[in-house]
């Protein structure tokens, strides 16, 4: 997967697009913790994307620790 496709998949597989839109419109629709975790998770994915891009990577990759962190933000 390309960097962009991989980052998009990481985000959308954990926080579906319709929920992202709902939180943007009504921030506490799923509770403040959900919104806070979603924002943090998206930022973590963005940071990983930028780090990979700075390294010159063209393929998306994520280590187990980062994946576990993202998983913890969805529960």
Query: CA-to-CA distance for 53 and 48, rounded, in angstroms?
Result: 8
Confidence of residue 75 (pLDDT cuts 50, 70, 90): confident
Side-chain half-sphere CA neighbours of 3 within 13 A: 14
pTM over 0.85: yes
- What was the pLDDT predicted at 25? 97
Q: Say if residue 36's pLDDT is above 90.
A: yes
What average pLDDT does range 50-62 have in this prediction? Answer: 97
Confidence of residue 5 (pLDDT cuts 50, 70, 90): very high
| Range of the structural domain that residue 28 is part of | 3-74
Please provide the average confidence, as pLDDT, over all residues in the chain.
Answer: 97
Report how many domains make up the chain. 1
């Amino acid at each position: 997967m390309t960097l962009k496709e991989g980052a998009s998949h990481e985000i959308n597989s954990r926080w579906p697009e319709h929920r992202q839109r709902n939180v943007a419109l009504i921030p506490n629709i799923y509770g403040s913790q959900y919104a806070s975790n979603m924002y943090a998770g998206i930022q973590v994915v963005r940071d990983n994307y930028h780090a990979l891009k700075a390294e010159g990577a063209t393929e998306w990759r994520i280590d187990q620790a980062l994946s576990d962190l993202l998983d913890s933000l969805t529960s």
